[in-house]
């Protein structure tokens, strides 16, 4: 899921969406992605992950 939503408003557009099993943040600078990951966890209670460079993830 990609969204141009700014971090302070992240919950507004996503609160109504069903929680995914895991959210992978694969775009943007590492520090910004880590901040967004933490925000998703705090605001939405979702599991969010910033994969390491080159890390492969099997999505079913």
Distance between CA 37 and CA 44 in Å, rounded? 10
pLDDT of 52 > 50? The answer is yes
Mean pLDDT in residue range 49-60: 91
What is the distance between the alpha carbons of residues 25 and 53, in angstroms, rounded to a whole number? 12
Confidence of residue 5 (pLDDT cuts 50, 70, 90): very low
Q: Is 30 helix (H, G, I), strand (E, B) or coil?
A: helix
Confidence label for 60 from pLDDT (cuts 50, 70 and 90): confident
pLDDT for residue 17: 86
Residues 9-42 pLDDT 10s: 676 678 888 899 999 999 899 999 999 999 999 9
């Amino acid at each position: 899921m990609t969204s141009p939503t700014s971090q302070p408003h992240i919950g507004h557009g996503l609160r109504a969406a069903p929680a995914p099993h895991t959210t992978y943040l694969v775009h943007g600078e590492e520090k910004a992605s880590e901040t967004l990951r933490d925000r998703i966890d705090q605001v939405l209670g979702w599991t969010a992950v910033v994969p390491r460079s080159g890390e492969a993830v099997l999505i079913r």
